[in-house]
């Protein structure tokens, strides 16, 4: 959702130390609201850039290993993706630790379909002899995947073109959705209509149903809804199996 005329919003999400701020600095140059530098990002920084006649506002989120409610950083990143509804979420992955990094990517894909995956540190991967089948990864994830090296400024044109195509609506994504076991899927199926009824279509109902099954009260507080209304229903559906195992 553009927050004002002709300005698109982008969020940068990813594990700590994957090069989000390096990419942020590269894209925004000096046009930033708050100073930011490489090193751990504590609060989120906002910056701006233009590309092919479009203006973008980009937000550098704190690095997290997941997007539940384990820490303030996770809540900041999670709430931004759910409530600010960026037009594009760039998930920045470390090419040398892809398997671990993909966990967060899968969580973001449950939250929004407007995702571009950036496989960063491609230079390091090359040095270590790690080969990544970008095309296959993109097919599996159901969203564009762009290999980059933020520090060496490689792959940035392709990334910008992919962002441009996504905000123009030229890319149809089909984000991979994790299938849980039958018990959980049945509970989700029952909860989703209820979630839609209470909060409408504005938020990703399946993802909220999953968080309800986890008993995530902090999310309910963020939704600023009366938790008791949900709580009455949740024990009925809740199970002991965590949905956080992806």
Please choose, from the candidates 207, 212, 202, 208, the residue with its C-alpha nearest in 3D space to the C-alpha of residue 234: 212
Q: In whole angstroms, give the CA distance from residue 6 to residue 172.
A: 21
Residue 46, number of CB atoms within 10 A of its CB: 16
By CB under 6 A, which span of 149-157, 162-170, 181-189, 191-199 interacts with ligand GTP? 149-157
Residue nearest to ligand GTP (CB): 63
Picked from Mg ion, ligand GTP, none, the partner binding residue 128 (CB below 5 to 8 A depending on kind) is none
Residue 25, number of CB atoms within 10 A of its CB: 18
158 binds ligand GTP (CB under 6 A): no
Closer residue to ligand GTP in complex, CB, 11/195: 11
21 binds ligand GTP (CB under 6 A): yes
Answer whether 40's CB lies under 8 Å from 22's CB: no
Q: Taking the complex as a whole, how short is the minimal distance between the CB of residue 40 and ligand GTP, in angstroms?
A: 4
244 binds ligand GTP (CB under 6 A): no
Contacts of 38 (CB under 8 A, 6+ apart): 21, 22, 25
28 binds ligand GTP (CB under 6 A): no
Query: Which spans of this chain sit near ligand GTP (rule: CB under 6 A)?
Result: 14, 16-22, 38-41, 63, 120-121, 123-124, 149-152
């Amino acid at each position: 959702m553009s927050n004002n005329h002709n300005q698109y919003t982008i969020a940068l999400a990813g594990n700590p130390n994957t090069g989000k701020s390096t990419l942020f600095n590269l894209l925004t140059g000096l046009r930033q609201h708050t100073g930011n530098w490489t090193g751990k990002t504590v609060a989120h920084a906002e910056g701006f850039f233009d590309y092919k006649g479009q203006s973008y506002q980009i937000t550098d989120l704190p690095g997290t290993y997941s997007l539940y409610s384990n820490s303030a950083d996770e809540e900041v990143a999670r709430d931004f993706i759910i409530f600010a509804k960026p037009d594009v979420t760039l998930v920045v992955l470390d090419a040398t630790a892809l398997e671990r990094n993909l966990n967060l990517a899968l969580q973001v894909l449950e939250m929004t379909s407007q995702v571009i995956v950036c496989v960063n540190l491609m230079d390091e991967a090359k040095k270590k002899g790690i080969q990544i089948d970008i095309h296959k990864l993109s097919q599996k994830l159901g969203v564009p995947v762009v290999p980059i090296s933020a520090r060496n400024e490689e792959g940035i044109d392709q990334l910008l073109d992919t962002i441009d195509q996504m905000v123009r609506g030229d890319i149809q994504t089909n984000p991979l959705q994790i299938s849980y076991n039958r018990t959980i899927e049945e509970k989700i199926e029952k909860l989703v209509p209820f979630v839609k009824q209470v909060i409408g279509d504005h938020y990703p109902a399946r993802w909220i149903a999953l968080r309800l099954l986890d008993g995530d009260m902090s999310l309910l507080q963020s939704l600023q809804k009366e938790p008791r209304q949900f709580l009455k229903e949740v024990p009925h559906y809740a199970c002991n199996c965590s949905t956080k195992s992806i």
